[in-house]
Structure 1
Amino acid sequence: MSVELDVFVGNTTIMDEEVYQFWLDGYTVSDAVKVRMEGGVLEECEASAEVLQSDTMDQYRTFQMCERLLHTPAKLANQLLFQIPPHRQAMLIERYYAFDSAFVREVLGKKLSKGTKKDLDDVSLKTGITLKSCRRQFDNFKRVFKVVEELKGPLVENIQTHFLLSDKLARDYAAIVFFANNRFETGKRKLQYLSFQDFAFCAGQLISNWTVGAVGMNQNKWRVTTLQAFLVNEGKSMHDIFNISLILCTALRGKTKVYSEMEANFKNLSRGLINIAAKLTNTKDVRDLFIDLVEKFIEPCRSDRWTAADMKLFLIHYTNSAHILDTFKHQVTWDRYMGVIKSCILKMYHD
């Protein structure tokens, strides 16, 4: 009885980046082989279909054995089983933790629990991403969340330290963790036009300005202490902002084609911004921040055909005009609040 064995002996572990991506995307060995053949790899390497099948299967086994190390990236550099150069290690880690925008948009803001994971079949069908890839991405989100959830210090730095990700990917994960922890509403129909990168940008603004990121504090936690104190102590003064309409309108006259609309809707828009600030004192209401921004500010302005330049002009003058009032001359918190709101609205103001 004869037995055929495929044997490979070497030092440096050979990893084909294309095959690695097939494995990450949830392709079966057969599907990966088919795509490689269609790409002309047999002619390029002068190999047979059997050799290609064997090579693909061997690499799949290698990736599967490496996967447990990728769960704790720092261990990859210290293990002795696989001889992988540092630049290849970085590639393996970065690609393993990369995710599809369509997938993350479906789970953003949801609790990273077993219940959500059970719904990944539907997410897979909706996005066209294989179920295996959806599960890998979800498990990565959950893994990062668990590691950094209670760590003190800057969120992005904690993620980079423990998972060795690039700055861009670490910031995206920081947004995912922040949204999962604070359960922001992102799934409403009116928010469907917003991309993950829109939300990630806003998350960066919130993390940097509305959380306590100093050493010794947890930047993942939502903190509105300063804003709350401002609203409690200066609540009556906030309504004085309505009195700046004349000042604001004088500053805007002749600078925009929608001046009449700005003047007519000033009080409603201003009331909307003030009400959003007031809701920040309630943890449950904070979850509706983005839907409030769309309903109370973005939609009315879009209805009046404001351009992005009009929006920027209004928000800058609105913020600055408040300082003419005595109660706002030295109010740093007002600038801190409006700085974030302005940045988020301008990012979100598109079709």
Structure 2
Amino acid sequence: MSMELDVFVGNTTIMDEEVYQLWLDGYTVSDAVKIRMEGGVLSECEATSEVLLSDTMDQFRTFQMCERLLQSPTKLANQLLFQIPPQRQAMLIERYYEFDSVFAREVLGKKLSKGTKKDLDDISSKTGIALKSCRRQFDNFKRVFKVVEELRGPLVENIQHHFLLSDALARDYAAIVFFANSRFETGKRKLQYLSFQDFAFCAGQLISYWTVGAVGETTLWKSIMMEDMDVELEKEFLHDLKDLKVLINDKDMLDQHKSLVCGQLKGKIKVFNEMEANFKNLSRALVNIASKLTHTKDVRDLFIDLVEKFIEPCRSERWTVGDLRLFLTHYISCAHTLDTFRHQIIWDRYMSVIKSCILKMYHD
């Protein structure tokens, strides 16, 4: 009996990106084969189902062997076992560390511990993401957190340096690390409408302007990163926010601030009457949130306070995003014209972030 065998020998590791994604998504070999067959790969390659099964098994095995290196991306370029071109290496790393936003939203703000990992079964059922994929994503979050939490310097740059991720993905991981470190409340029912990207945007604002690594210049700060880590909110800044209470405790200043804002907004927003009637309540809400940020619990409740004390009252009066943007713009700028208000730098540093976060969070 004679047998013909075609053999191809090469030194470049062959990896199919679609099969890699199936592996990342947590599919079994048999499920991956089925998906590939439904995609018409057999007709494209003129192969049999047996060959497709063999190819899928072989690639899954290769990915599993590479996984140890993907968990320490800087080692991938220096290893000799797999001959992978640099561009393909970058793709493998980026895809391995990509995550589902709905999964990230479920664990955002939680401690990245064994206790949270035990909840992955429930999260898998709730999100429809395979448990294997949930575990990979959670382990990636935990790995990045452990590597960068004690490093000095800019958080995003540290993540890029140690994990070779794109700028956008590194910023998303920075948000995850920041929330895990500060343990912001994100799970309350009133916050469920907010997406991971909403929170990630807010995290970026807080990191850029409120942390130890963000230093204000005399005018609107061009962010200069210090040697300190920038996942800790700057305590001195949070303490100084108490000085802003003069805006609401001094009746003459409060009335003058209201008059100036109303003068700027009359005829420009549809909810002018509602704004005028509620100005003092809205101003008190914003300043009181600032004055309480010296307490850990109030820092953790920052987002729920913004929703309950500012966003919901505006939403109930049917403010548009345009109304809100105009109000906050003039609310901030008019404080500068108050003769006896001496805390302009702290005011701008606080309110620029609050304004950006509120505008991002103001949607259904």
The answer to whether structure 1 residue 288 and structure 2 residue 301 are counterparts is yes
Structure 1 gaps, min length 5: none
Structure 1 partner of 2:157 = 157
Q: Which amino acid letter does the alignment assign opposite residue 34 of structure 1?
A: K
Aligned 1:144-293 pairs, distance under 5 A:
144-213=144-213, 214-231=225-242, 233=243, 235-236=245-246, 239-240=249-250, 242-243=254-255, 244-293=257-306
Q: CA deviation at 1:285?
A: 1.2
Note the aligned Cα RMSD (angstroms): 1.5
Structure 1 partner of 2:353 = 340
Structure 2 partner of 1:68 = 68
CA 1:6–1:98 in structure 2 vs 1: closer, same or farther (change >3 Å)? farther
CA 1:93–1:216 in structure 2 vs 1: closer, same or farther (change >3 Å)? same
| Residue aligned with 2:13, SS | coil
Distance in 2 of aligned mates of 1:6 and 1:248: 80
Structure 2 partner of 1:37 = 37
The answer to whether structure 1 residue 300 and structure 2 residue 313 are counterparts is yes
| Residue aligned with 1:328, SS | coil
Structure 2 gaps, min length 5: 214-224
CA 1:95–1:226 in structure 2 vs 1: closer, same or farther (change >3 Å)? same
Q: CA deviation at 1:295?
A: 0.4
Distance in 2 of aligned mates of 1:268 and 1:238: 10
Q: CA deviation at 1:284?
A: 1.9
Structure 1 partner of 2:336 = 323
The answer to whether structure 1 residue 100 and structure 2 residue 111 are counterparts is no
Distance in 2 of aligned mates of 1:331 and 1:127: 45
Q: CA deviation at 1:323?
A: 1.4
Conserved 8 A contact 2:245-2:288: no
Distance in 2 of aligned mates of 1:133 and 1:208: 31
Conserved 8 A contact 1:308-1:346: yes
Conserved 8 A contact 2:211-2:230: yes
Distance in 1 of aligned mates of 2:7 and 2:147: 39
Q: CA deviation at 1:327?
A: 3.4
User: Once the two structures are superposed, what CA deviation does each residue of 1:169-216 show, in whole Å capped at 9, x if it has no partner?
Assistant: 000000000000000011111111111000000000000000022332
Alignment TM-score, normalising by the size of structure 2: 0.92
**Equivalent pairs: percent with the same residue?**
77
Distance in 2 of aligned mates of 1:53 and 1:36: 10
Distance in 1 of aligned mates of 2:352 and 2:31: 50
Structure 2 partner of 1:310 = 323
Conserved 8 A contact 1:224-1:280: no
Pairs aligned (count): 346
Conserved 8 A contact 2:240-2:346: no
User: Once the two structures are superposed, what CA deviation does each residue of 1:311-342 show, in whole Å capped at 9, x if it has no partner?
Assistant: 00100111111112223356211011000000
Q: Which amino acid letter does the alignment assign opposite residue 274 of structure 1?
A: V
Conserved 8 A contact 1:6-1:54: no
Q: Which amino acid letter does the alignment assign opposite residue 128 of structure 1?
A: G
